[in-house]
Amino acid sequence: MAVSSIFIASELYWGFRIPLHNSGLIIPLNRVRHFEHATISLNFFTYAAFAIILDKIGSKAHYALTLFLEAIAFGQELLLIHFHSADHKGVESQYHLLLQIILLVSLITTLMTIGHPQNFLLSFVRSTSITFNGVWLIVTGFMLWTPALIPKGCFINLEEEHQVVRCLGDEDLLRAKSVNHQFSWFFIAITVFSVSFYLVLDKIYDEKLDYSTLS
């Protein structure tokens, strides 16, 4: 919740740092992305807040409702990423496209877990996809806005107060968008880490598990 609050505040700061258009508070196109990012974080803030409240109240349906709110957050993120105001033909679009695959897995497994709360595999895949979601967002940030990591033949260009990766030619653009192998490497790494982490914890704790509430 704290991280979401900080992120929302930072995005709204960049969105409002120049007064909005005097006519009907119209949001300029170059600042729409900031409100999109803030909305995504707001969804997860709402989910986290209600997760704590439901856990504290101890409602019989608190687990199902928590998963439902989580599914809404993933669904909203998937929707906003799919219709993101960023360039849909550049390098960033390829990273967003691959992110949507991860989000779709998170959304589907979360919805399925509502009906099958005791299914270990669903929970495991959901947790792994959430981890992959965070890792891929970090990778996207480094690969797109770190000059030393930008593909050869491409550069960071400031367009309408937003940094965008542009390439010199079509061949450079195609090479820069070929991040599928990178996605696959991270997918394998996350899979190996998740399974190994589970095996280690299973060996340490075995059946000696003790659960407690979030509050």
Q: What spatial distance separates the first Cα and last Cα of the chain, rounded to whole Å?
A: 14
Partner residues linked to 157 by β-bridges: 164
pTM: 0.81
For residue 163, the 8-state DSSP code is E
Section 136-158 average pLDDT: 87
CB distance 73 to 47 below 8 Å = yes
CB distance 157 to 87 below 8 Å = no
Assign 42 a pLDDT band (cuts: 50, 70, 90): confident
Mention every residue, 6+ apart, whose C-beta is less than 8 A from residue 1. 45, 48, 49
CB distance 202 to 181 below 8 Å = no
How many C-beta atoms lie closer than 10 Å to residue 207's C-beta? Answer: 5
Location of structure tokens 């970090």: 138
What is the torsion angle, in degrees rounded to the nearest 10, for the CA atoms of residue 11, residue 165, residue 129 and residue 7? Answer: -10
Assign 19 a pLDDT band (cuts: 50, 70, 90): low
Task: Give pLDDT, residue 154.
Answer: 87
